[in-house]
Structure 1
Amino acid sequence: MFLSTQAIVLSKIKYRDNDLIVSCYTKEVGLISFLLRGVLKSKKGHTKAAYFQLLSQIQIDADIKQNRTLQTLKDVKINVLYRTLHTEVLKSSIVMFLADVLAMVLKEEEANTELFEYIENSLNILDETTESSNFHLVFLAQLTKYLGFSPDTSNSHFNYFNLSSGQFETQSKSIYSITGDNLKFLKLSLGILFDDLSEMKMSSKQRQSFLEMLLLYYELHLGHFKKPRSLAVFSQVFS
């Protein structure tokens, strides 16, 4: 089957001496992986390999065969040319971290247009914004809506939130009940627009605590989720 689709690069791994294995989330068929043979062998190949930076938005043409784990890529073009995502230290750290998260949570080999467009639009905003310190927190909180375990906000005026049940509660009922700053930031992050990130005032300690809470929420609702490998480096950047 011939496939032409928009894609977002989630990961790339060097294979043997000159090959790359690239995993992409596509608009048309969901998650798909490619084996790029010899792409690191020549100067021209290295130029092509540069298309596959983490979370790059590309347009791909591919030859897709059922029951094949690694597909064949026929052509690739840059779909969105970022200005800042791969050049500014803070933003490139966010990109590395979010790519790790997305590689873990995006497992479906089927189309999910709303999810794809959420990621696509979010990355475009991150590339343009000057308020990026809390971007990843809002992104992760709102991503839960597209993954199927968004907090039930019908009682968001209650003073506790149960991470395990995903419900707001009137009192603490388990070890996973939160309140205080984390509750305040959860409510804010679920309703805020990326354009209004400047309104989200947090200290580095509050930011770290809220991130750890969000990652625990993901662990509780996604059986395969683990803390990203890039978390330690990422946390140092924000400390």
Structure 2
Amino acid sequence: MNDRITGFVLKQSDYREADVILSVLTKEYGKLSFVAQGVRKMTSKNAGSIMPYTKTEILFDYNETKTFFRLKNARCKEYYRSMHEDIIASSAAAVAAELIDVLTLQATNDMSNNHEYAFLDIVFSKLDEGYD
């Protein structure tokens, strides 16, 4: 039962020796948490796809009773290269992502965060174009 979603990586925290915990905002399910196993290893295929402040397509198994999932595969849909290279734009993206992370709750059955998702999409796109 593989589910494929697109979401914004809000933050990434180190976990154990080679794993990370991701906070991802999705349009369909709201905010979800993932454990990405082995992504801090040099041979990881998913490491470049789960960087903070990127739009990423994630493959995982969704279960309504859980709020923490195991990431199977990830593919970067939008990297926002100019935003990541500019320190001011990158800082603004960090503030926007932290704001959304704090203001949104973990996903429940009847919850989606369409407004927050659209907000991040616009902010990241504008910052990538050079609007500070």
With structure 1 as the length reference, what TM-score do the two structures score?
0.50
Contact 2:25-2:32 within 8 A present in 1 as well: yes
Q: Could you say which residue in structure 1 is the equivalent of 2:115?
A: 114
Q: Counterpart of 1:90 in 2: which secondary structure?
A: helix
User: Measured at CA, do residues 115 and 95 of structure 1 come closer, stay the same or move farther in structure 2, by a change above 3 Å?
Assistant: closer
RCO comparison, higher one (Cα < 8 Å, 6+): 2
User: Measured at CA, do residues 83 and 39 of structure 1 come closer, stay the same or move farther in structure 2, by a change above 3 Å?
Assistant: closer
> Where does structure 2 lack aligned partners over 5 or more consecutive residues?
none
> Where does structure 1 lack aligned partners over 5 or more consecutive residues?
133-239
- Which deviates more, 96-105 or 30-39? 96-105
The 1-side partners of 2:90 and 2:58 are apart by 23
Q: Counterpart of 1:85 in 2: which secondary structure?
A: helix
Contact 1:54-1:95 within 8 A present in 2 as well: no
Name the amino acid aligned to 1:54: P
Q: Could you say which residue in structure 2 is the equivalent of 1:44?
A: 43
Q: CA deviation at 1:35?
A: 0.8
The 2-side partners of 1:101 and 1:30 are apart by 15
Q: Could you say which residue in structure 2 is the equivalent of 1:125?
A: 126
Contact 2:93-2:127 within 8 A present in 1 as well: no
Q: Counterpart of 1:55 in 2: which secondary structure?
A: coil
Q: Does 1:72 align with 2:70?
A: yes
Which of the pair is proportionally richer in strand? Answer: 2
Can you list the C-alpha shifts for 1:132-173, whole angstroms capped at 9, x where unaligned? 0xxxxxxxxxxxxxxxxxxxxxxxxxxxxxxxxxxxxxxxxx
Q: CA deviation at 1:60?
A: 1.3
Contact 1:30-1:111 within 8 A present in 2 as well: yes
The 2-side partners of 1:27 and 1:10 are apart by 13
Q: Counterpart of 2:92 in 1: which secondary structure?
A: helix
Number of residue pairs the alignment of both structures matches: 129
Q: Which runs of 4+ in 1 moved over 6 A?
A: none
Q: Does 1:84 align with 2:85?
A: no
Contact 1:84-1:127 within 8 A present in 2 as well: yes
Q: Counterpart of 1:44 in 2: which secondary structure?
A: coil
For the aligned residue pairs, the C-alpha RMSD in angstroms reads: 1.8
With structure 2 as the length reference, what TM-score do the two structures score?
0.86
The percent identity for this pair of structures is: 26
Q: Counterpart of 2:8 in 1: which secondary structure?
A: strand
Can you list the C-alpha shifts for 1:87-113, whole angstroms capped at 9, x where unaligned? 111111112222222210121512232
Whose Rg is larger?
Answer: 1
- Which deviates more, 109-118 or 13-22? 109-118
Which of the pair is proportionally richer in helix? Answer: 1
Q: Could you say which residue in structure 2 is the equivalent of 1:213?
A: none
Contact 2:32-2:106 within 8 A present in 1 as well: no
Name the amino acid aligned to 2:120: I
Q: Could you say which residue in structure 2 is the equivalent of 1:156?
A: none
Name the amino acid aligned to 1:118: F
Alignment of 1:1-239 (within 5 A): 2-41=2-41, 43-45=42-44, 48-109=46-107, 110-129=111-130, 131-132=131-132
